[in-house]
Structure 1
Amino acid sequence: MDPLGRRRFLTSAVLGTTAAGVVGASALGSFAPEAAASPRPALDVGAGELDPNFVEGRIIGITKGLLLVTSSDRSMHRIHLTGATSVWKLRPTTSDAATVGDGLYARGVRMPDGTLAADAVWLNIVNLQVHITSIGRSVLHLDHRGDRIVGHVVAGTTAAVYNSTPAVSDLSLLQVGKHAQVVGAWRPDTNEVDLATVYAAA
């Protein structure tokens, strides 16, 4: 979808004037968790400038599908969630999953009033390079640059990818002392993460 068409699509979704609400944002770009920290490059953004169509921060208020977000640079943003917005919080979910205090990455299109019409939102997502320090029942103890992280295995959700092979639910090949990459959902204001995917060598 070209940028102009994408803007019209999201504007219609915000205004509620078309059937856009039944179409997921994955039609507009990758919704994979790994895409959260890799927004599509904007052709009209200069080197070193921030992409105006990508927001990171924490939710400080929610009103009728409008998120009020404070970014790490203390700037404020208003983000529209519509039926056209794809939402990830450990797994694909709905906008009702967003709560005050959640961390957030959002990708979308700026509206004339300065708000962001989101086509994809990732809540509390983390993508960490770690070492596995111990393995318990339904939990992985991890070290991330000297910080201890508790990774919770979520039945029916947590999967492992060994040597770039398809994801499986079997975590038995994970080894203490080995390096891994984990994608998951942070439990705000803790050192705990619900694990979505663990990437490791078998």
Structure 2
Amino acid sequence: MTNTLDRRTLLTAAALGTTASLVGATAMGSLAPETAFAARSQSPEPGAPDPNFAEGRVTARDGSLILVSGSDGRLHRIRLTGGTSIWKLRPTTLDQVKVGDGLYARGVLMPDGTLAAESVWVNIVNLKVHVTAIGRNVLHLDHNGQKIVGHVVPGTSAAVYNGTAAVSDLSMLKVGKHAQVIGAWRPDTNEIDVATIYAAA
């Protein structure tokens, strides 16, 4: 008899401590920051919150348990396992998650109300912007009338021009043009670190 283990069963077992070893969550799904904004595969009842998704600001951390205050006023308890993928501008580890960070998490809701996280995106933003100025390793952006400072991080920031493959060369960005930026917000500022900027060449 072949035993297959789906993502939900694997995360449930990992959160309950019943698996001897756990494969990395990147083997189960994408850690790409774009995935945080993808359509959800399961729809909750109309008007009801998705029980397998949490968002908000980190208020406390106790080992692998993160407490998050949601923008809707709910308090989320999020358990990270050895198989949880964490993104904060790039794939990273739990020790990089700080109190005050913004967070999106997807996973499996456990019977005790804790979300066993499959993927966590820390401080992620997805902004449609207008490029107002370009400096050395910095982009000045306008997002719905708000000024945003986008920091270009050498070795990390990339550009996608006209839907082609991502490249590290941002020299084809043009002042006055529109773009879409996925990046990591610097909490309580108008600044972000750029992960990927999508623009026309």
TMscore range, shorter length:
over 0.9
- Looking at structure 1, the residues matched to 28 and 55 of structure 2 have their Cα atoms a distance apart, in angstroms, of 19
Residues 99-155 of structure 1, C-alpha deviations (whole Å, 9 max, x = no match): 101000000001110100000000000000000000001100000000000000001
- Looking at structure 2, the residues matched to 19 and 161 of structure 1 have their Cα atoms a distance apart, in angstroms, of 41
**How big is the shift at 1:18?**
1.5
The normalised TM-score by structure 1 is: 0.93
SS of the residue corresponding to residue 99 of structure 1 reads coil
**How big is the shift at 1:189?**
0.2
Hey, what does 1:175 align to over in structure 2? 174
**How big is the shift at 1:39?**
4.8
Hey, what does 2:10 align to over in structure 1? 9
- Once structures 1 and 2 are overlaid, which stretch shifts more, 48-57 or 144-153? 48-57
- Looking at structure 1, the residues matched to 79 and 67 of structure 2 have their Cα atoms a distance apart, in angstroms, of 9
1:79-158 correspondence runs (5 A): 79-158=78-157
* Percent of matched pairs sharing the same residue: 68
1:30 paired to 2:33: no
- AA partner of residue 144 (structure 2): R
* RMSD of aligned residue pairs (Cα, Å): 1.4
Contact 1:108 1:116 in 2 (8 A): yes
Contact 1:20 1:84 in 2 (8 A): no
SS of the residue corresponding to residue 175 of structure 1 reads coil
**How big is the shift at 1:31?**
2.2
- Looking at structure 2, the residues matched to 19 and 141 of structure 1 have their Cα atoms a distance apart, in angstroms, of 49
Hey, what does 1:51 align to over in structure 2? 50
- Looking at structure 2, the residues matched to 37 and 195 of structure 1 have their Cα atoms a distance apart, in angstroms, of 16
- Once structures 1 and 2 are overlaid, which stretch shifts more, 33-42 or 174-183? 33-42
1:18 paired to 2:19: yes
SS of the residue corresponding to residue 10 of structure 2 reads helix
Distance 1:106 1:39, change over 3 A: farther
Q: Figure out how many residues of one structure are paired with residues of the other and give that number.
A: 197
- Looking at structure 2, the residues matched to 173 and 121 of structure 1 have their Cα atoms a distance apart, in angstroms, of 32
Distance 1:94 1:182, change over 3 A: same
Residues 65-119 of structure 1, C-alpha deviations (whole Å, 9 max, x = no match): 1000000011001000111100000001111211101000000001110100000
Gaps of 5+ in 2: none
SS of the residue corresponding to residue 29 of structure 1 reads coil
Contact 2:131 2:174 in 1 (8 A): yes
Gaps of 5+ in 1: none
Residues 30-83 of structure 1, C-alpha deviations (whole Å, 9 max, x = no match): 32211112352315x223322100011010000011000000011001000111
- Looking at structure 2, the residues matched to 115 and 46 of structure 1 have their Cα atoms a distance apart, in angstroms, of 20
- AA partner of residue 28 (structure 1): M
Contact 1:87 1:95 in 2 (8 A): yes
